Amino acid sequence: MPQDRTIEDVAANTLVGHPDEIAERIAQAVAILRPSHIAFHNQPGDLPQDRVMKSLELFGSKVMPQVERALAA
């Protein structure tokens, strides 16, 4: 990874935020790129396991249903 990346560069390429915002970003990217597959990597760093699990639960229960609805429209 280039050492001259700014925090703005990292933030622009990282899915962090409210589930509605994340769902919108994913749906937009999929609509534009039309990938046949998409994979997500959850890199929790040193977060406690309960917070990591909450993040994964939110992704599955809030983010993905919104993405699916947006792409079905």
Q: Mean pLDDT for each consecutive 10-residue tract of the chain (73 residues)?
A: 79 88 95 93 84 93 96 88
Model pTM score: 0.78
pLDDT of residue 1: 55
Read off the tokens for 5: 């990346």
CA separation for the pair 60, 24 (Å, rounded): 15
Domain ranges for the chain: 46-73
CA separation for the pair 62, 69 (Å, rounded): 11
Non-local (6+) Cβ contacts of 67 within 8 A are 23, 26, 27, 30
